[in-house]
Structure 1
Amino acid sequence: MDGTSNHNSNSNPAHIILIPFMAQGHMIPMVDMASLLASSGAIVTFITTPVNAARIRPIIDRIENSHHPVRFVQLPFPSADAGLPAGCENIDLISSPDLFKSFMEALSLFGEQVKLYLTTRNPTAVPADCIIFDNMNFWVGAVAESLGIPHITFYGPSCFYILCAHLLKKHQVLKSIDDDYELFKVPEFPEPVEVMKAHVKRWVDRQGWEKLSEEFYNTEKSACGVVMNTFEELEMLGLDKFRKEIGKKVWPIGPVSLANKDLDSKAMRGKASSIDTGLLLSWLDSKAPNSVLFVSFGSLSCNSISQLVQIGQGLEYASSSQLSFLWVVKEADNSEEVENWLSEFEERTKGRGMVIRGWAPQVMILDHVAVGGFMTHCGWNSTMEAIAAGVVMATWPRFADQFVNERLVVDVLRIGVAVGAKVPIFFVDKMSEEALVKGEEVRKVVEKVMTGGEKGEERRKRAKALGEKARKAMEEGGSSIENLKRIIQSAEGENKHLE
């Protein structure tokens, strides 16, 4: 779809290319970013693949019907050339750990498709002024530089995590630590928190990934600036330190989930819901304010049947009969054993609990007045959605940035309670027994988050206050909206170079 935004009086608006990483948690914030940039005056081209476009088809339709100048381009993904099964175009479709590296290598081949599109097949005939790319797309730097297009990194995780990773690499800290579970402080970090080696290792630094690692860091260095799904008021100290460290523009533009203002857009964010939203809202409407715990662990993390049983016990035996729960169990899709246990569990907790099998409209749920707590894997999208909704969290990280995000939520912002998970579980790995969290621990955390006495009330007040700041950041004149405008102004600059 061509055209210009109604909000833009510039006859020559900036044309910004968005290239998300092919994972649901990375696609979602970039779709929101496309809407935000287009409504702020840019022309946007969003590049993805057929399988990923099909997943977000309702969102594509909604954006196209809004007449914002966003073009969705589908380019073929070279699954077969990289030794992947046909249609393996998203990391949640990777069936074994061995295929993860093959998938990452396939991204370089996809980069050739993107370069071809930008040079010979771009139907807009509008030159690209800049590319905003997910930092996992390590190949973008070489493509953008070969075409002379400025490129900006989009970091999906928190600034808290990105700064932590930057400082650890700068000081080579991990080389001197042998114990994966030894607590240590990060040099120069502006917050007094401690982390563990097992929780801060980056996927790109593993053995055998040296070539990909070099490309990854080269692309980070060559980027003109950084965009983040956070806001100035949330991570002020970290953002200030990170800007000084990298010497580049850093634009926080979040929470991007707040781009979805009406009920329909909240309900379809990500992909189509697995439950009728009318039925879901009716159930939530029947519950008292702050009485429902929402339990969801993101699009990638999976629980073993043993862990599901322990979670179920914790939810079932939480002491207050006034507490209800809404639990997303995507594992039911692939296991008869899980489905059989789940059916019995639902019968025992009828009226008090609801189970969603598959994808849930998370933003819509968190925004409901009945929801008073969120048990989460601490993926940054989920964390930001909870912050935007002013909801306290029970934190249960699994891998990547999630353990560091937990430290931000629990130790710095003080709006969460840790379940106590310690052992990382990569999304393609089976959950080990040592990673199991017992039902009694789950029960204790549920009660602390949902009631928790005076400390619980203080947590809830802090969460509500942060929610207010998040909403103000995304209003006209707010810090995030102003940063969006600065990105576009930079792309529209006299020499089309970012300032």
Structure 2
Amino acid sequence: MNQSSSPSVVVVMVPFPAQSHLNQLLQLSHLIISSNNNLPIHYLASPAHNSQVKSRSLVTNYANNSNPNFVFNTKIIFHDLPIPLPSLLPTTSPDLLHKPMAALLHSLAPTATRLVILSLLSPFNGSPSEELGYKLPCRDECFPPDINRYLDHRARCMKPRGNGYISNSCRSIEAAFLDLLENDKELLGGKKIWAVGPLNPVTLELVNYRQEDKCLEWLDQQEVNSALYISFGTTITLKDEEIKQMALGLEQSGIKFIWVLRAAGDQEDVKRAQLLPNGFEERVKGMGMVVRDWAPQMKILGHSSTGGFLSHCGWNSCMESISMGVPMAVWPMKSDQPRNAVLITLVLKVGFVVREWEKREELVSSSRISDVVEILMKSEEGNEVRKRAEELGYEVRKSVEEGVTRKEWDSFIAHITRETC
């Protein structure tokens, strides 16, 4: 069946209530629309989260393709679920979501030949990574108990009912691992994996930003690969002493830097900045800058002056850094980050570890931060890692434009728009 002749296929996005998941499914929505403009997308979230997602989309065009006629929000229909934000916890949200979701699905069903529901996919409980010679941190160590119970519940529901898995990764990054998963009949039950990542843009022309952004103006004045970008995402807040050690370590290193120092959640950014050592910003003036607001991460990573990324190793940040060919210094804090750090440092070998996961209860000293930053940015070993990162970034971009990722995406669209048997 021709894709354009299937208007009764309806896609429903149900993101997990966390910023990284909200963004990924928004990006996925744009990709589906850009691949098939006849598919309506229904996006379900709390009123507050929908507001955040829509406002963020006004400054970033999440379209991983070269279609110049792509228009944001063409067919995305946002639905506000009546759930207060404090209730959006893994242990309570399934019950709260059930009734409003069921009502919406029942309202869509009469005019749809197929409802395609895309939601959070549980991390695989058993991993074949050891078959490849790598041992991952135990999931119970990375997630709190309530999250683990929630993931187990989702895995039990998904296995008999789900039709397949979409991965925000690509075979240029982890082909061997994806192949092992697909061949593990017990783990996946013979279901298909579509590795359609990276969902973020891979060409900077598709990323909008404020022309007067001071970060980019500052980078324009620096030498190639001379600046380190530091950001810990939207859900991680460094402890008071960690902020002080980070500042001292950056100052000791003498490396140029852009440091996004923001608080997660409702904490006040101003108070975080007050924890910097006295006179720090004056002493590093010209050498670095501290950003207390939103920063154009993709544009920074894609800038020729950016030579490294010190990150918490969240998956979105990993994929963006890989896409732009930027090596990383990783400091995993929780959830998927410790496992991502293994991929970045041991498997792909495009980064260095700031703090080993086994030493997560220990304070990272300023000297340790300075040492790792200098290795990444100044040493011959760092140059070799940067070269591998640039080569991997090239392979990923090529795969998106004309290679395996494009074929996997076409396969997914063909699958959800196929004729009903």
TM-score with structure 2 setting the length? 0.86
Rounded Cα–Cα distance in structure 2 between residues aligned with 1:76 and 1:371: 40
1:213-269 per-residue CA deviation (whole Å, 9 max, x = no partner) reads 65322223121100001011211110000001121100001111126753653x38x
TM-aligned CA deviation for residue 488 of structure 1: 1.6
Rounded Cα–Cα distance in structure 1 between residues aligned with 2:119 and 2:26: 12
The answer to whether the Cα contact below 8 Å between 1:421 and 1:437 also exists between their aligned partners in 2 is no
Which of 192, 200, 204 in structure 2 is aligned with 1:257? 200
- Indicate the residue corresponding to 2:373 in structure 1: 446
- Indicate the residue corresponding to 1:248 in structure 2: 191
1:132-179 per-residue CA deviation (whole Å, 9 max, x = no partner) reads 11126xxxxxxxxxxxxxxxxxxxxxxxxx45x323xxxxxxxxxxxx
- Indicate the residue corresponding to 2:261 in structure 1: 329
TM-aligned CA deviation for residue 127 of structure 1: 5.1
TM-aligned CA deviation for residue 209 of structure 1: 7.2
Aligned: 1:194 with 2:192:
no
The correspondence of residues 105-144 of structure 1 with structure 2, limited to 5 A, is 105-120=92-107, 122=108, 125-126=111-112, 128-135=114-121
Find the residue that maps to 1:234 and give its secondary structure. helix
Rounded Cα–Cα distance in structure 2 between residues aligned with 1:115 and 1:484: 28
Aligned: 1:457 with 2:400:
no
1:469-498 per-residue CA deviation (whole Å, 9 max, x = no partner) reads 1111211x32222222211211122227xx
Which of 23, 36, 45 in structure 2 is aligned with 1:48? 45
- Indicate the residue corresponding to 2:126 in structure 1: 166
TM-aligned CA deviation for residue 331 of structure 1: 3.1
Find the residue that maps to 2:78 and give its secondary structure. strand
1:281-323 per-residue CA deviation (whole Å, 9 max, x = no partner) reads 111101111011001111111111100000011100104xxx3
Find the residue that maps to 1:435 and give its secondary structure. coil
Aligned: 1:19 with 2:6:
no
- Indicate the residue corresponding to 1:154 in structure 2: none
Please tell me the residue identity of whatever aligns with 2:45: T
Find the residue that maps to 1:330 and give its secondary structure. coil
1:85-136 per-residue CA deviation (whole Å, 9 max, x = no partner) reads xx4376xxxxxxxxx4xx531233123211111213x499545431111126
The answer to whether the Cα contact below 8 Å between 1:34 and 1:70 also exists between their aligned partners in 2 is no
Please tell me the residue identity of whatever aligns with 2:171: E
User: Percent of aligned positions with the same letter in both sequences?
Assistant: 28
Describe the shift of the 1:60–1:357 C-alpha distance in structure 2 as closer, same or farther (beyond 3 A).
closer
Find the residue that maps to 1:465 and give its secondary structure. helix
Describe the shift of the 1:305–1:118 C-alpha distance in structure 2 as closer, same or farther (beyond 3 A).
same
- Indicate the residue corresponding to 1:179 in structure 2: none
Aligned: 1:340 with 2:263:
no
Find the residue that maps to 2:294 and give its secondary structure. coil
Please tell me the residue identity of whatever aligns with 2:418: G
The answer to whether the Cα contact below 8 Å between 2:262 and 2:272 also exists between their aligned partners in 1 is no
TM-aligned CA deviation for residue 339 of structure 1: 2.9
Aligned: 1:367 with 2:306:
no
RMSD of aligned alpha carbons = 2.9
Rounded Cα–Cα distance in structure 1 between residues aligned with 2:35 and 2:70: 17
1:346-379 per-residue CA deviation (whole Å, 9 max, x = no partner) reads 1111111111114322111111111100001111
Rounded Cα–Cα distance in structure 2 between residues aligned with 1:471 and 1:124: 41
Rounded Cα–Cα distance in structure 1 between residues aligned with 2:46 and 2:110: 18
- Indicate the residue corresponding to 1:488 in structure 2: 413
The correspondence of residues 229-378 of structure 1 with structure 2, limited to 5 A, is 229-245=168-184, 246=188, 247-258=190-201, 261-262=204-205, 264-265=207-208, 267=209, 277-319=212-254, 323-331=255-263, 334=268, 338-342=272-276, 344-378=279-313
- Indicate the residue corresponding to 1:4 in structure 2: none
Rounded Cα–Cα distance in structure 2 between residues aligned with 1:449 and 1:215: 41
- Indicate the residue corresponding to 1:415 in structure 2: 350
Aligned: 1:401 with 2:355:
no
Find the residue that maps to 1:295 and give its secondary structure. strand
Rounded Cα–Cα distance in structure 2 between residues aligned with 1:328 and 1:34: 28
- Indicate the residue corresponding to 2:55 in structure 1: 58
Q: Give unmatched runs, 5+ long, in structure 1.
A: 1-6, 80-86, 91-99, 137-161, 168-186, 269-275, 426-433
Rounded Cα–Cα distance in structure 2 between residues aligned with 1:133 and 1:423: 32
Rounded Cα–Cα distance in structure 1 between residues aligned with 2:9 and 2:48: 28
The answer to whether the Cα contact below 8 Å between 1:16 and 1:132 also exists between their aligned partners in 2 is yes
Number of positions where the alignment pairs a residue of Structure 1 with one of Structure 2: 402
Which of 76, 79, 84 in structure 1 is aligned with 2:81? 76
Rounded Cα–Cα distance in structure 2 between residues aligned with 1:264 and 1:277: 15
Describe the shift of the 1:234–1:291 C-alpha distance in structure 2 as closer, same or farther (beyond 3 A).
same
Q: Give unmatched runs, 5+ long, in structure 2.
A: 63-68
Rounded Cα–Cα distance in structure 2 between residues aligned with 1:441 and 1:459: 19
Please tell me the residue identity of whatever aligns with 1:76: L
TM-aligned CA deviation for residue 71 of structure 1: 1.9
- Indicate the residue corresponding to 1:83 in structure 2: none
The answer to whether the Cα contact below 8 Å between 1:29 and 1:256 also exists between their aligned partners in 2 is yes
Please tell me the residue identity of whatever aligns with 1:27: L
The answer to whether the Cα contact below 8 Å between 2:332 and 2:355 also exists between their aligned partners in 1 is no
More displaced stretch, 277-286 vs 437-446: 277-286
- Indicate the residue corresponding to 1:217 in structure 2: 155
Find the residue that maps to 2:224 and give its secondary structure. coil
Aligned: 1:88 with 2:31:
no
TM-aligned CA deviation for residue 36 of structure 1: 0.9
Find the residue that maps to 2:349 and give its secondary structure. coil
TM-aligned CA deviation for residue 54 of structure 1: 1.3
Describe the shift of the 1:66–1:387 C-alpha distance in structure 2 as closer, same or farther (beyond 3 A).
same
Please tell me the residue identity of whatever aligns with 1:134: L
Find the residue that maps to 1:110 and give its secondary structure. helix
Describe the shift of the 1:8–1:311 C-alpha distance in structure 2 as closer, same or farther (beyond 3 A).
same
Describe the shift of the 1:255–1:416 C-alpha distance in structure 2 as closer, same or farther (beyond 3 A).
same
Rounded Cα–Cα distance in structure 2 between residues aligned with 1:284 and 1:35: 30
- Indicate the residue corresponding to 2:91 in structure 1: 104
The answer to whether the Cα contact below 8 Å between 1:423 and 1:435 also exists between their aligned partners in 2 is no
Please tell me the residue identity of whatever aligns with 1:88: P
Describe the shift of the 1:441–1:492 C-alpha distance in structure 2 as closer, same or farther (beyond 3 A).
same
Rounded Cα–Cα distance in structure 1 between residues aligned with 2:47 and 2:147: 30
Describe the shift of the 1:345–1:67 C-alpha distance in structure 2 as closer, same or farther (beyond 3 A).
closer
Find the residue that maps to 2:332 and give its secondary structure. coil
Describe the shift of the 1:326–1:60 C-alpha distance in structure 2 as closer, same or farther (beyond 3 A).
closer
Describe the shift of the 1:263–1:241 C-alpha distance in structure 2 as closer, same or farther (beyond 3 A).
closer
